[in-house]
């Protein structure tokens, strides 16, 4: 936190120094331009460049020689004055060009320091919008400057509790106008539950119609991730896709989801890489969400009992896709699952990186014959690729 504050102080000091330098340079340029303009306004003759002077009645008595000497300058001086008069337009053009260049350079440096330069380049069409989302400040500037829609915001490794308030304020003020639909915040390891709470409040207060929220790979959040974002997944809010992969979720998080399952508006729920061993009964309650169609439980250390509970619940859910890769499912587990497949609505089944062998696939073929489904993933098991290809080919022939 201290490092972030010191960095902010340094940036503020740099901004003030740049602005001071800009003002000083502009004053010098303005003074130079004024001198040239004054010189340009002196009335000079076309032939000699001599300046016309108003005759004073006090000098009428001067001799003709002195009068001639006063009116006719030396040849070198006449040429110099004549040169200034003739080059004035060029000098003015150079001064204007120099002023414009200095102003542009100083503005560019200022925008780079305050983080708005990538956003401005994106708004001007000089940089892809995805490349402009490199920091919280650049995203805040993008939302502020852009007049069109920004349906997706993705910020990785740059959101923390020290700057989340800036992002929250940008969402509160401009999120609705930007028609923001998806907020992706993976790998932000310095963002805590308190910071996420600020973002949720900004979304609700700003009337942002968020539909997708991704907080994956933020293990520091723990069960608090569900506790904070759960209100967005129920009416009147519209979040239908929630990704909480590798967030150190446990029993409390699943209980919260199960408690409100009947009110959840979630179509997609990804809970992979969270350890749910022995929590099969609670997972069953989560699966009762009325419109849930896509559930990911990859690498969740599910036991045979957990898998049995999940499989037996499948016929009573609206699930069309379930991902069960990397759960050490063997032939016994596959049989339990295959028995329920014909009764379910599943159209996609992921079983990669498990302990399946070629002889275990027969029960899966029987289930397929009773009710075919479109996508089956078996990569990474103890089955040769050719065997998997032949098995899939056989299933397609059965379907035909």
> What are 180-197's pLDDT values in tens digits?
999 999 999 999 999 999
Q: How confident is the model at residue 148 (pLDDT cuts 50, 70, 90)?
A: confident
Q: Tell me, what's the pLDDT at 240?
A: 98
The alpha-carbon radius of gyration of the chain (Å, integer) is 37
- The reply to whether 62 and 132 lie within a common domain is no
Clarify whether residues 173 and 257 are in a common domain: yes
Residue 5's pLDDT band, with cuts at 50, 70 and 90, is: very low
Does 99 share its domain with 122? no
Which one has a higher pLDDT value, 297 or 124? 297
Whether residue 282 is found in the same domain as residue 173: yes
316 and 229 inside one domain: yes
pLDDT beyond 70 at 1: no
Residue 385 lies in a domain: no
Report the share of the chain in percent with pLDDT over 90: 56
Confidence of residue 16 (pLDDT cuts 50, 70, 90): low
Q: Is residue 157 part of a domain?
A: yes
148 and 224 in a common domain: yes
- Which phi and psi angles does 336 have, rounded to 5°? -60, -40
Q: Do 162 and 274 share a domain, yes or no?
A: yes
| Residue-level pLDDT at 45 | 42
Asked if residue 368 belongs to a domain, the reply is no
pLDDT (0 to 100) of residue 22: 52
The two structure tokens encoding residue 236: 């009147």
Residue 335 lies in a domain: no
Q: Mean pLDDT across the stretch 195-205?
A: 97
**CA neighbor of 270 nearest in space, from 195, 208, 324, 334:** 324
Is the pLDDT at 378 greater than 80, yes or no? yes
Number of domains in the chain: 2
Same domain for 218 and 122? yes
103 and 187 in one domain? no
Check whether residue 263 and residue 347 sit in a common domain.
Answer: yes
Beta bridge partners of 376: 349
End residue of a domain, out of 114, 143, 178: 114
* Structure confidence by residue, pLDDT tens digits, 31-56: 555 544 444 444 444 334 444 444 44
pLDDT at res. 389: 85
Q: Which of 137-151, 297-311, 381-395 has the highest mean pLDDT?
A: 297-311
Q: In this predicted structure, what is the pLDDT of residue 47? A: 38
pLDDT confidence tier of residue 23, bands split at 50, 70 and 90: low
One domain, residues 24 and 43: yes
136-172 burial string, b = 16+ CB within 10 Å, else e?
A: bbbbbbbbbebeeebeebebeebbbbbbbebbbbbbb
In the prediction, which pLDDT does 56 show? 44
Lowest mean pLDDT among 134-143, 199-208, 230-239: 134-143
Residue 371 lies in a domain: no
Predicted confidence (pLDDT) at residue 298 exceeds the cutoff of 50: yes
Please report, for the domain that includes residue 208, its CATH number: 3.80.10.10
pLDDT at 116: 65
Q: Write down the pLDDT at residue 122.
A: 67
Which of residues 89, 114, 139 is at a domain's end?
Answer: 114
DSSP 182: E
| Confidence class for position 321, pLDDT limits 50, 70, 90 | very high
| Assigned domain for 399 exists | no
In a domain, 295, yes or no: yes
Distance in angstroms (rounded) separating the CA atoms of residues 201 and 321: 32
**35 & 140 share domain:** no
Structure confidence at residue 361 as a pLDDT band (50, 70, 90)? very high
Q: Which two tokens stand for residue 41?
A: 């306004």
Answer yes or no: is 61 within a domain: yes
pLDDT recorded at residue 61: 46
Give the residue-averaged pLDDT of 106-111. Answer: 62
Q: How confident is the model at residue 94 (pLDDT cuts 50, 70, 90)?
A: confident
Q: How far apart are CA 373 and CA 274, in angstroms?
A: 27
pLDDT digits (tens, 9 = 90+) for 211-227: 999 999 999 999 999 99
Question: pLDDT tens for residues 247-266?
Answer: 999 999 999 999 999 999 99
- Find the domain containing 230 and state its range: 117-302+310-325+341-351
Host H or E run for residue 199: helix 193-205
pLDDT at position 25 over 60: no
């Amino acid at each position: 936190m201290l490092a972030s504050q010191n960095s902010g102080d340094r940036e503020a000091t740099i901004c003030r120094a740049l602005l001071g330098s800009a003002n000083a340079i502009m004053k010098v340029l303005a003074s130079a331009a004024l001198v040239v303009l004054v010189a340009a306004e002196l009335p000079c003759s076309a032939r000699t460049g001599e300046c016309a002077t108003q005759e004073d009645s006090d000098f009428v008595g001067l001799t003709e020689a002195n009068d001639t000497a006063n009116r006719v300058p030396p040849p070198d001086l006449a040429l110099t004055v004549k040169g200034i008069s003739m080059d004035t337009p060029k000098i003015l053009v150079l001064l204007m060009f120099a002023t414009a260049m200095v102003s542009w350079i100083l503005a560019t440096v200022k925008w780079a320091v305050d983080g708005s330069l990538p956003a401005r380049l994106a708004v001007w069409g000089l940089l892809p919008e995805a490349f402009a989302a490199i920091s919280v400040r650049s995203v805040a500037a993008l939302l502020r400057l852009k007049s069109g829609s920004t349906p997706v915001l993705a910020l990785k490794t740059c959101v923390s509790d020290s700057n989340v308030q800036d992002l929250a304020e940008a969402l509160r003020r401009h999120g609705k106008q930007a028609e923001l639909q998806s907020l992706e915040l993976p790998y932000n390891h310095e963002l805590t539950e308190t910071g996420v709470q600020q973002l949720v409040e900004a979304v609700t207060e700003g009337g942002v119609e968020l539909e997708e929220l991704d907080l994956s790979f933020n293990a520091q959040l723990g069960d608090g991730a569900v506790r904070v974002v759960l209100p967005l997944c129920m009416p009147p809010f519209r979040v239908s896709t929630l990704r909480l992969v590798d967030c150190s979720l446990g029993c409390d998080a699943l209980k919260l989801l199960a408690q409100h399952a009947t009110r959840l508006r979630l179509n997609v729920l990804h809970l992979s890489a969270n350890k749910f061993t022995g929590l099969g009964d609670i997972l069953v309650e989560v699966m009762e969400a009325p419109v849930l169609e896509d559930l990911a439980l990859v690498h969740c250390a599910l036991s045979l009992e957990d898998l049995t509970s999940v499989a037996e619940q499948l016929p009573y859910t609206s699930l069309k896709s379930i991902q069960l890769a990397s759960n050490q499912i063997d032939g016994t587990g596959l049989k339990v699952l295959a028995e329920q497949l014909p009764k379910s609505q599943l159209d996609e089944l992921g079983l990669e990186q498990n302990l399946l062998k070629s002889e275990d696939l027969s029960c899966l073929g029987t289930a397929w014959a009773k009710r075919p489904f479109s996508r089956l993933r078996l990569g990474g098991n103890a089955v040769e690729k050719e065997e998997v290809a032949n098995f899939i080919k056989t299933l397609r022939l059965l379907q035909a």
